[in-house]
Chains A and B, each alone.
Chain A
Amino acid sequence: MLLFRREFGLAWGRGGGAIMALAFFAAITALTPLTVGSEPERLAALAVGSSWLALALASLLSLERLFERDFEDGALDLLAIGPLGLVGVSAIKALAQWVAIGLPLAVAAPVAAAALGAPDSILPLTLAAAAIGGLGFAFTGMMGAALALGSRRGGLLIAVVVLPLFAPPAIFGAGLLVAAAQGLPWVGGLALIFAWTLFSVVVSPMVAAFSVRDALG
């Protein structure tokens, strides 16, 4: 809890924190009707996919500094020799990132979907899927940040590493919400997002710890 409180505070302020992520999310949502046209039918068809794309991109913001700042100022040395080990430290960093950035984005997701004309009936499911998928985004993004640690242009490298890994939840998430809007079964899609998130929560901290250890050495 000690480290979580610190990481939450740092995530809240890092790169503009949740406010910047929400502003970015809103900007992408606002651009959608300007780029594809403002016909309600067309927007409603794109609402779900557009909000998932915005969610994935907004989740990338501030990831670059997740480990980089601690690496530069020596905090990562002290965290590495602390009581939790690097696997625990990485997991808590991702969890704090999700609470500080991912959850506010998840709350904004149904608002954006509704603004683009998604039916009201799928808005609670949009929130749930974005919250679960956002947790996976946070852990996968944390792993990308660890892999890019110490490299020049780390932000770009994180995007290149992480965005392909964001594809499964974006596909499952958009698919399940489209299915729900059409009255088709959607539980399978939610289960797939959950499974991907669980995989990410388990695997990402171990990969990140290995990568950070390598960067420190």
Chain B
Amino acid sequence: MVRDLTVARGDRLLIRDLSFSVGPGEAVVLTGPNGAGKTSLLRVVAGLLKPMRGAVELSGESEWADRLHLIGHQDGLKAGRTAREELDFWCRWAGANGAGIERAVETLALGPLLPLPVRSLSAGQRKRLAMARLVAADRPLWLLDEPLAPLDARWRENLGLLADEHLGTGGMILAAAHDPMPFEHGVLDLGGVA
């Protein structure tokens, strides 16, 4: 999936000649110190950042964007809009229909939050709102950047259950994390790559 990848930000080389793959039902967690290139690698795989060299290949015939979800550090949610408006927009933008959105509301217990403006939500609630599109729209590859950071113990466990279900149906996960993840995964340490 990732072949001979070299990634730089400005003048700084982050990743050199990296190759690895994530197959159906597999999860790989990127580890390494701050600045090792974990987020940059996720952005390269998402198509947001061009590598200096190398290539990323995603299996399947649909458009690149239709094959992945990106849950980044920033959630893209607008503080002045309601959780319902943001949920509807981002889930539909990801290709979800009404039934998918309702499933996400139920799975992530978002119902009581929906009438509230995003600015009144806690960091953990915002993260759950952002994660709704993972449930609402079925896409094979999840790119997760520090997904556990603002979640409490209950929702960390629930994220593990969601991930297990996704992997059980042939999905793939590539995550960047400092903390142990609540699902079975391989580890790719970027600490000494560059």
Q: Which residues of A contact B (CB under 8 A)?
A: 2-3, 6, 9-10, 13, 69-70, 72-83, 216-217
| Inter-chain contact A216/B68, CB cutoff 8 Å | no
> Could you pull out 18 A-B pairs where Cβ atoms are within 8 angstroms?
A2-B92, A2-B93, A6-B89, A9-B81, A13-B80, A69-B78, A74-B73, A74-B74, A75-B76, A75-B77, A77-B76, A78-B70, A79-B93, A80-B47, A81-B46, A81-B68, A83-B66, A83-B93
Q: Are B76's CB and A73's CB within 8 A?
A: yes
Distance in Å from the Cβ of A50 to the closest Cβ of chain B? Answer: 35
Q: Is B1 an interface residue (CB 8 A)?
A: no
Within 8 A of A (CB), among B54-93: 63-66, 68, 70, 72-78, 80-81, 89-90, 92-93
Looking at chain B's contact residues, the main secondary structure is loop
Q: How far is the CB of A78 from chain B (nearest CB, A)?
A: 5
Residues of chain B having any CB pair with chain A under 8 Å = 43, 46-50, 63-66, 68, 70, 72-78, 80-81, 89-90, 92-95
Q: Which residues of A contact B81 (CB under 8 A)?
A: 9
Q: State in angstroms the CA–CA spacing of A163 and B154 once bound together.
A: 54
Q: State in angstroms the CA–CA spacing of A9 and B81 once bound together.
A: 10
Extra contacts, 8 of them, besides A73-B77, A80-B48 (Cβ < 8 A), are A2-B92, A3-B93, A13-B80, A74-B75, A77-B43, A77-B70, A78-B76, A217-B48
What residues of B have a CB within 8 angstroms of the CB of A80 in the complex?
Answer: 47-48
When distances are taken between beta carbons in the complex, the residues of chain A under 8 Å from B75 are 73-74
Tell me, in angstroms, the Cα distance from A122 to B47 when the chains sit together.
51
| Nearest CB on B from A214, distance (A) | 10
Q: In whole angstroms, what is the CA distance A74 to B47 when docked?
A: 15
Residues on the B chain within 8 Å of A6, using CB = 89
> Knowing A73-B75, A75-B76, A77-B46 touch, does A83 contact B63 (C-beta < 8 A)?
yes
Q: Could you tell me the distance in whole angstroms from the C-beta of A209 to the nearest C-beta in chain B?
A: 13
In the bound complex, residues from chain A placing their C-beta under 8 Å from that of B68 are 81
Q: Which residue of the partner chain B has the closest CB to A74?
A: B74
* In the bound complex, CA of A151 to CA of B43 (Å): 21
Q: Point out the residue from B50, B89, B95 that lies within 8 Å of A83, measured CB to CB.
A: B95
Q: Is the CB of A73 within 8 A of B70?
A: no
Asked whether B48 lies within 8 Å of A216 as measured between CB atoms, the reply is yes
